[in-house]
Copies of this chain bind each other. A is one copy, B any other.
Amino acid sequence: MSAAVINYYDGMMRWEPDSRGRLERAALELYGERGFENTTVAQIAARAGLTERTFFRHYSDKREVLFWGAASLQELLVKAVADAPAAATPIEAVAAALETAGAMLQDRREHARQRQAVISANAELRERELIKLATLAAAIAGALRDRGVKGPAASLTAEAGIAVFKVAFERWVNGTDGHHLQQLIRESLEELKEVTAG
């Protein structure tokens, strides 16, 4: 997913090309430099060369800069589970969805690395990230139930899938070996199969 270029046409008849992306990059820089808790919206807007008013047209608060992508990630995962071939087993449907997400995230690695460092440094953000992952797991379980997967199998497959994604994502973000996220997702899934087989 490349940072969306949004040409925002404001009430003052000025163009602000990619103001959303500029605000996001400015925020990540400042969170990294001085910490999330010590950064203000005024500082983010100033660093981006924009006004606070423009910030609040794009983000509801400084935390949303880090979490706005969760909704589209969830939508993508749910759609990919739904679109998996009818013959796919539950874990195959989830694996296909995770690989689709991996492909989408691949060219945002530097952004993901910066974001992860900010989140790791702040307890409130770590909690928010856990809640995001749990919400994704619940959405995937729902998509599996819509495919007719019964009872606890839907929850177990979804939770296992999120565990695979989490481990692969950490290896990808922290790794220096240039592995592709999709590849790491496949490897982590293989590893999960091995560990659960005992």
Asked if A12 lies at the interface with its beta carbon under 8 angstroms from chain B, I say no
- Residues of B with C-beta under 8 A to A188: 152, 156
With CB as the reference atom, state the residue of chain B lying closest to A91: B198
Q: With a CB–CB cut-off of 8 A, which chain B residues contact A162?
A: 159
The answer on a CB contact under 8 Å between A166 and B160 is no
Residue of B nearest to A164 (CB): B156
- For the residues of A in contact with B, the DSSP-based class is helix
Contacts from A to B (Cβ < 8 Å)? 89-92, 127, 130-131, 134, 152-153, 155-157, 159-160, 162-164, 166-167, 171, 188, 191-198
Chain B residues lying within 8 Å of A167, measured Cβ to Cβ, are: 152, 155-156, 159
Instruction: Name 15 extra pairs, CB < 8 A, besides A89-B198, A156-B188, A159-B163.
Output: A89-B195, A92-B198, A127-B127, A152-B167, A152-B188, A152-B191, A153-B195, A156-B163, A156-B192, A156-B195, A159-B160, A159-B162, A160-B192, A193-B197, A193-B198
Determine the chain B residues whose CB is within 8 A of the CB of A164 once the complex forms. 156
Determine the chain B residues whose CB is within 8 A of the CB of A92 once the complex forms: 198
Q: Which residue of B lies closest to A163 (CB)?
A: B159
Minimal Cβ-Cβ distance residue in B for A88:
B198
A25 to B: closest C-beta gap in Å: 29
